């Protein structure tokens, strides 16, 4: 694994086609302006090196990210509050829109904006001590960086309402059971190590096919079944004509590992 580059609120590692973002803003990785800027810089780097998979992890013990910067929000006027919210939303939406599969490694607290950051990733891995929640109602707010939109898509309306209306935290086992976490790390393994294992699996597959899977599954949430089935048919045809399907099929016949870009 390469040496971390940069020394800011977000640093990064690269191993082949995998880039790891490391949140490093003690004591709790609050998503203040420095960390938001760091995410943009790390995304710039991942795009520059044509990353296939991104892992988002933390260097701060006990925290993935504690949430938005409450101290910052408590000192600003309404215009500055909107600018801060737009900046946070912009970083998470940019991450979520990347044509790259991303994996959040949640080990410790992922609350508020921290959970919204994890939900902006394609997949989430959690360790035993992960605690996840959207406690904004306790501050007189709502999740404002995608939480009200992404959480129901992951866990369903009723469970999303339960979490957001109470502001309670869920432990790793419950998060896995309701679909908020996609993989649980083994008891003696960190979320970061498990995320890297998953990232290597993902990097070996065809990125165009993976992104088509994500698009097609997402389409199931906002299209009638008949429209979704047509969209699925269009996606697989495009992969055959313009993607990596021909190489994958030939490699299968030749009994060799496919050479995906």
Q: Which residues are catalytic?
A: 68, 113, 116, 136
Length of the chain: 261
> CA-CA distance, 55 to 184, in Å (whole number)?
15
Dihedral-angle region of residue 63 (phi above 0 means left; psi in -120 to 50 means alpha; beta otherwise): beta
Cis omega (within 30 of 0) on the bond before 107?
no
The two tokens of residue 172 are 């790793």
- Cβ–Cβ under 8 Å, residues 134 and 143: yes
**Where does 30-161 show beta strands of DSSP type E?**
30-31, 53-58, 63-65, 67-68, 101-106, 109-111, 123-126, 131-133
Nearest to 31 by CA among 100, 83, 87: 87
């Amino acid at each position: 694994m390469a040496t971390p580059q940069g020394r800011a609120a977000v640093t990064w590692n690269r191993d082949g086609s995998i880039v790891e973002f490391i949140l490093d803003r003690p004591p709790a990785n609050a998503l203040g302006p420095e960390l938001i800027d760091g995410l943009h810089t790390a995304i710039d780097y991942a795009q520059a090196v044509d990353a296939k998979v991104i892992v988002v992890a933390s260097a701060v013990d006990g925290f993935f990210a504690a949430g938005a910067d409450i101290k910052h929000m408590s000192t600003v006027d309404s215009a500055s509050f909107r600018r801060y919210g737009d900046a946070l939303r912009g970083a998470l939406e940019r991450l979520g829109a990347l044509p790259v599969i991303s994996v959040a490694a949640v080990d410790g607290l992922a609350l508020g904006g921290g959970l919204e950051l994890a939900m902006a990733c394609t997949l989430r891995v959690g360790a035993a001590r992960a605690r996840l929640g959207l406690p904004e109602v306790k501050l007189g707010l709502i999740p404002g960086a995608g939480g009200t939109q992404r959480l129901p898509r992951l866990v369903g309306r009723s469970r999303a309402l339960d979490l957001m209306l109470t502001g309670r935290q869920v432990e790793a086992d419950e998060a896995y059971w309701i679909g908020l976490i996609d993989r649980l790390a083994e008891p003696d393994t960190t979320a970061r190590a498990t995320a890297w294992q998953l990232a290597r699996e993902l990097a070996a597959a065809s990125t165009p096919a993976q992104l088509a899977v994500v698009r097609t599954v997402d389409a199931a949430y906002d299209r009638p079944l008949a429209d979704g089935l047509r969209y699925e048919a269009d996606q697989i045809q495009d992969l055959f004509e313009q993607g990596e399907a021909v190489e994958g099929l030939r490699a299968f016949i030749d009994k060799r590992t496919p050479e995906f870009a």
